Amino acid sequence: MHDVAFIFAGFFVGLVVGLTGVGGGSLMTPILIFFFGVKPHLAVGTDLLFAAFTKLSGTVRLARQRVVNWRIVFHLSAGSIPAALITLYFLHRVGPANPAVQSLMTSTLGAALLLTAAATLYKAVRGKALPAALAAGQEAAAARPRHWSLPLLLGALVGTLVTLTSVGAGAIGVSVLLFVYPLLPLPRIVAADIAYAVPLTLVAGLGHASLGSVDWSLLALLLAGSLPGIWLGSHLIHRINERVVRSLLSVLLAWAGIKLIAI
């Protein structure tokens, strides 16, 4: 019976990701902790590889459409991956099942969910449409950051957050990109966010696997549900009011964040 419930949870999260683009970690990790009683370190580690596999297929599709700016992906990865490795070293030294680490994970996860909720609600209520495309000359200018250090510093922040909580590569990552590259068209923003999340979540997920923080059978069940869920969500996206879905999602994320902080 539990197996069916895990598949359904994967389908639900995949459906929401397909409808809104919000990272699966924002939903999957609290669902595993609250509804299935999975330990925080196992929920985070399993969800990281869940995110890596689901976003890999999206990256391949976007790369074929030639909308991924690999220079931006490289600059963000140069900050996020070293930060992920440093965080994994810390977890290896202390132990992911250590009560203090578990408390840090749940508190940081709660804060990350509140940030994600705020970013999701802002995009639903006040989000402004960016141009879908730019001329060739404008594209190069739009791909330059406000300051050369920002992709490295903010990438490191997201890398640490993702490794500790599995949350941050979705809505928070998009918010970071919108701040660092304000002139970049939205399709490029989303494509860069999905593409750089793949190596980050893969490195962090494999690091957690080396610590014994991944449940492989659980991962297989979640993927069995999420892949058809993402396919269905991407086909329903034009038939459902995205602002309503995002607004409801932000309330759910805020509730989960407050509960995790209060643990």
In the block, which residue shows the tokens 């969800």? 47
What integer best gives the mean pLDDT of the chain?
82
In this prediction, residue 225 has a pLDDT band, given cuts at 50, 70 and 90, of: very high
pLDDT mean over 198-222: 93
Whole-number Å distance between alpha carbons of 67 and 69: 6
For 10-26, what is the mean pLDDT? 76
Pick the residue with more confidence: 126 or 169?
Answer: 169
CB 192 within 8 A of CB 39: no
Containing 3, the helix (H) or strand (E) segment is helix 2-20
How confident is the model at residue 21, as a pLDDT?
Answer: 62
- pLDDT value of residue 23: 61
Quote the pLDDT of residue 236: 74
pLDDT bucket at 101, cuts 50 / 70 / 90: confident
Q: How far is CA 185 from CA 121, 155, 177, 237, 263, in A?
A: 20, 20, 11, 20, 40
Residue 131 DSSP one-character state: P
Q: How far apart are CA 81 and CA 192, in angstroms?
A: 15
pLDDT of residue 46: 94
User: With left for phi above 0 and alpha for psi between -120 and 50, is residue 167 left, alpha or beta?
Assistant: beta
Rounded distance between C-alpha atoms, residue 37 and residue 100, angstroms:
18
Handedness of CA 196, 202, 204, 207 (dihedral sign): negative
DSSP state of 168: S
